[in-house]
Amino acid sequence: MQAIKASSFHLPRLNPVALITLAAASLIGAPVAIAIFTGVIGGGGDAWLHIVSTQLLGYTMTTLAVIGLTAALILLFAVPTAWFVSLNEFPGRGFFEWALILPLAAPGYVLAYAWADAADVAGPIQSALRDVTGLSARDYWFPSVYSIPGLSFVMASALFPYAYLTARAAFSNLSLCTMEAARSLGASPRRLFLNVALPAARPAIFAGLALALMETAADYGAASYLGVQTLSVGIFRAWHSFSEPAVAARLAVLLILIAFGLQFIERMARGRGGIQQTATRWRTPRRQKLGPVAGWGVAIGCTLVLVLSFVIPVSRLIWVSTETGLGQGQIVRPFLNSLTLALAGSAFAFVLALTITIGARQNRFSQFIGRFAAGAGYAAPGIVLALGALFILSWTGFSVAGPAALIFLVWIYASRFTAAGAEPLNAAFSRAPASLGNAARSLGASRFQRLVRVDLPVAMSGASAAAIILFVETLKELPATLMLRPFNWDTLAVQAFAYASDERLAAATLPSLLITAAGLGPVVLLSLQLTRAGQSRAAG
Amino acid sequence: MSKLQPIHARGVTRRYDGRAVVQDASLTLEPGKITALLGQSGAGKSTLLRLFAGLEPLDAGEILHGDVAVSSLSKHVPAEERQIGLIFQDFALFPHLNAIDNVGFGLVRQNKDKRRETARHWLDRLGLSHRAKAYPHELSGGEQQRVSIARALAAQPVAILMDEPFSGLDVTLKSEVRRTALAAVAEAGSPALLVTHDASEAMRAADRIAVMSDGVILQEDTPEKLYLEPVSMAVARALGPLRSVRRNALPEKWQAKVPLAETYCLRPEAVRLDPAGDAMLEVVAAQRTSSLIEIELKLTETETIHALALGPFTPGPGDKLAVSLAPEFVFAAR
């Protein structure tokens, strides 16, 4: 697809495609625009001044500290594992290649509940420690999950696969010639990694990292449960506990600035190099076999990352739920509610994603406006978008408790996740030859016929991936659902959060496990697809 | 629109951001003939093809099908209404359709059976009837390009426009695919335009060649005429390698054979190994390149010329060879 050139960008004639894309982009971008507008224009009054003098610095510094620490942990988890899995042969490599993506299935808040229970004084880890050492609880120090480092660890566990995936792709795409040239110039494996591979993969690693950190900044469930006072928690509290939506909107602007700041840093880090692309004739380097000591050392390292990020928390949830029986709490209604909202939200997001993807093929204006709106919606935390929707609800006089709120919630899901759904649809087009549209034109196909006979079928080859991603993202969403759902309309995520917050972890496990199980399917699918793509590239 | 009429471009200009990428170009595509548009990348070849196809509006001039204007400042028939067959370097096959459905894509006015029959005929004509059910990703590059040519021809276009159609293919496949494809194009009888940067491809495939540089058509003629009577050094260079030599460096007998000029450009064929030759030159270096031997011969201390030879023996440096000059391959530099 052609890049947008500022010098040749013109407003197009108002053709139907541009108008439809503009309408879709407006729907996607409206909640974030309204939240920003209200935050900037609306006065916060005394409450805002009070927040500024007492809590603003704390919220901001805590959020930045969580982001910084999470970034460091993600790099620690993702980069070495990606390097060894891509370019080295060691025991279990084939398993770790896909298994290290599994943590993506569990949302951060679910890992937070599990870790809080597992690492509790009465939990299995500390109990085992006492059993082995014979110490009592007062005789030793144990790190608390209810802290900035604890939250950072939980978020890094849930989100490091983003950076792992992009780093793995970048390492696999390294040119054999570059690596062999470096080796022939006497580069040791360490220098090869630090001076050749890492700089080449840096843009891709930063792209994955930025995505993970935007999710970290947007998190409400884990931070709130672990009692870490981030901006998201502050926004929710300003709106819910203090009934100060104007203050919440001002805090939301700060959070958006942080999200956009992360995007900006990612672009800066990308530099002039851009993300390395795989050329058709690019040969993937052959994996180097590690010696037995190094090989088993790497295997143990990978195991440790997987156990800490996925195996311990998920098996703890399974243990608790089987120990206490699955009948804790009502599950059918929240399950059906989740299903209904996820289906409606993902369907709406899918239609919008399809509209902006096809619109982008038609003219540069549609391409720009669609991508800009989807990017803004994706960067904005769910809590901010929900705030935007609440402002619209109050201006239009609809009841927050009525069915209108549900429609708004579906809208917010679409606004937040359209970009994620557009990604696989775009990928479907990028795999297709660039001159497809002109070929269809030369064969007499009108604009409408091209849409129906070429663009839609080509986009639909990415449809199943888009639909699955959208469904799972919507199912996992917590803060916007928490703010916008009508009374008595709990979803699995909301119910898990409510039970966990009430210290009824046993009851929270089943909805948490259901969300994780729903996430596992697409993650395994994605993992298999990526592995197969890697194998066919290596074979080709 | 009726078939088998010439397509004319008359004084066509196209500008991007004020810069002319095609400037006052005039070219006629005759029915049953393949015209090659030859030039370096950035010469404006593909833009001129897009103007012929109606994929872009023009900024001056007109394009006519027979006597009917299809592009001018006041009129623009869109590409989908021109019945022009386009063939691209990236094949542009629809990934969701198999080979036979790709070929049948443009045949919407025919009923399903007739469409299948026509598509099958063209696949057969291009030697691909056994691959009818294969999807694009299951076909080799050469097969994909033949499907795309079958697709363009099946729609019975008023002209075939090919944009570097063989550049994406392996060298081993290229000549076979080109031969099959261009034979089918010629048989269809429509005017055909072949955009290429490869002089030998243009010479082999085309009935006429237009040499283009910086948006301007420098000369248009038969390959033979262009090769032997280029109007400028730029055209001569576009058609094949040249070697510059000062008049004073040439042996005296050769100076008498060529028109008066300060500098000449010689094709490698200008110098022939000839036992009855009128000059003896010393070999500086010689290299066999498959069937031909490239020989560098010393004229003066600082100047050499190249000769091509057939034969079993490669001469060595220092050997003296009798050579003669074929003046038809010598151009006076202007």
Higher pLDDT, A506 or A66: A66
Q: Is B55 on the interface with A (CB under 8 A)?
A: yes
* Chain B residues within an 8 Å CB radius of A444: 80-81, 83, 106, 108, 155
Answer yes or no: do A443 and B88 touch at CB < 8 A.
no
Distance CA A507, CA A330 (A): 9
Answer yes or no: do A433 and B90 touch at CB < 8 A.
yes
Answer yes or no: do B106 and A7 touch at CB < 8 A.
no
Answer yes or no: do A442 and B152 touch at CB < 8 A.
yes
Answer yes or no: do A461 and B95 touch at CB < 8 A.
yes
> DSSP readout, A422-480?
HHHHHHHHHHS-TTHHHHHHHTT--HHHHIIIIIHHHHHTTHHHHHHHHHHHHHH--HH
Answer yes or no: do A446 and B80 touch at CB < 8 A.
yes
* Chain B residues within an 8 Å CB radius of A434: 90, 92
Count of C-beta atoms within a 10 Å radius of residue A536: 9
Calculate what percentage of chain A has a pLDDT beyond 70: 88
| pLDDT at res. B218 | 96
Residue-wise pLDDT for A443-485, tens only, equals 988 888 888 888 888 887 778 778 877 888 888 899 999 888 8
Question: Of the candidates B88, B94, B152, which has its C-beta nearest A454's C-beta?
Answer: B94
* Chain B residues within an 8 Å CB radius of A458: 94-96
A8, closest residue in chain B (CA to CA): B17
pLDDT bucket at A17, cuts 50 / 70 / 90? confident
CATH 3.40.50.300 segments of chain B = 7-238
Q: If 0-12 CB within 10 Å is exposed, 13-18 middle and 19+ buried, where does residue B319 land?
A: middle
Of B37, B145, B157, whose CA–CA distance to B88 is shortest?
A: B145
pLDDT at A540 over 90: no
Residue-wise pLDDT for A165-196, tens only, equals 888 888 877 666 566 666 666 667 777 788 77
Q: For residue B143, what are its two tokens?
A: 């097969």
CATH numeric code, B243-332? 2.40.50.140
Residue-wise pLDDT for A197-253, tens only, equals 888 788 888 888 988 898 899 899 999 999 999 999 999 888 888 888 888 888 888
| pLDDT at res. B30 | 95
Phi, psi of B305 (to 5 degrees): -130, 160
Section A314-342 average pLDDT: 83
| pLDDT at res. A175 | 60
| pLDDT at res. B119 | 95
Question: Of the candidates B82, B86, B96, which has its C-beta nearest A439's C-beta?
Answer: B86
| pLDDT at res. A271 | 59
Asked if B230 contacts B219 with a C-beta cutoff of 8 angstroms, the reply is yes
Distance, in angstroms, between B84 CA and closest chain A CA?
A: 6
* Domains, chain A: 11-42+329-503 (1.10.3720.10), 55-327 (1.10.3720.10)
CATH 2.40.50.140 segments of chain B = 243-332
Answer yes or no: do A433 and B93 touch at CB < 8 A.
yes
Question: Of the candidates A435, A443, A458, which has its C-beta nearest B155's C-beta?
Answer: A443
| pLDDT at res. A3 | 36
pLDDT at A279 over 60: no
Q: For residue A359, what are its two tokens?
A: 């619109």
Residue-wise pLDDT for A50-64, tens only, equals 888 888 899 999 999
Query: How does A391-429 read in b/e, with b if 16+ C-beta sit within 10 Å?
Result: bbbeeeeeebeeebbbbbbbbbbbbbbbbbbbbbbbebb
Question: Which residue of B1, B86, B98, B147 to mutate against A (max A Cβ within 10 Å)?
Answer: B86
Q: According to DSSP H, which parts of chain B are helical?
A: 45-53, 99-104, 112-125, 141-154, 171-188, 199-205, 223-228, 233-239, 252-255
Asked if B155 contacts A443 with a C-beta cutoff of 8 angstroms, the reply is yes
Mean pLDDT by 10 residues, chain B (334 residues): 80 92 96 94 93 92 94 90 88 88 89 93 93 90 91 92 88 84 88 94 94 96 93 91 90 90 90 90 91 90 89 89 92 80
Calculate what percentage of chain A has a pLDDT beyond 90: 28
Higher pLDDT, A461 or A36: A36
Answer yes or no: do A443 and B55 touch at CB < 8 A.
no
Answer yes or no: do B93 and A457 touch at CB < 8 A.
no
| pLDDT at res. A247 | 85
* Weakest-pLDDT range from A157-161, A272-276, B65-69: A272-276
A434, closest residue in chain B (CA to CA): B92
Distance, in angstroms, between B229 CA and closest chain A CA?
A: 37
* CATH-assigned architecture of domain B7-238: 3-Layer(aba) Sandwich (3.40)
* Chain A residues within an 8 Å CB radius of B81: 444
Section A243-265 average pLDDT: 85
Distance, in angstroms, between B145 CA and closest chain A CA?
A: 12
Distance CA A384, CA A40 (A): 13
Answer yes or no: do B80 and A445 touch at CB < 8 A.
yes
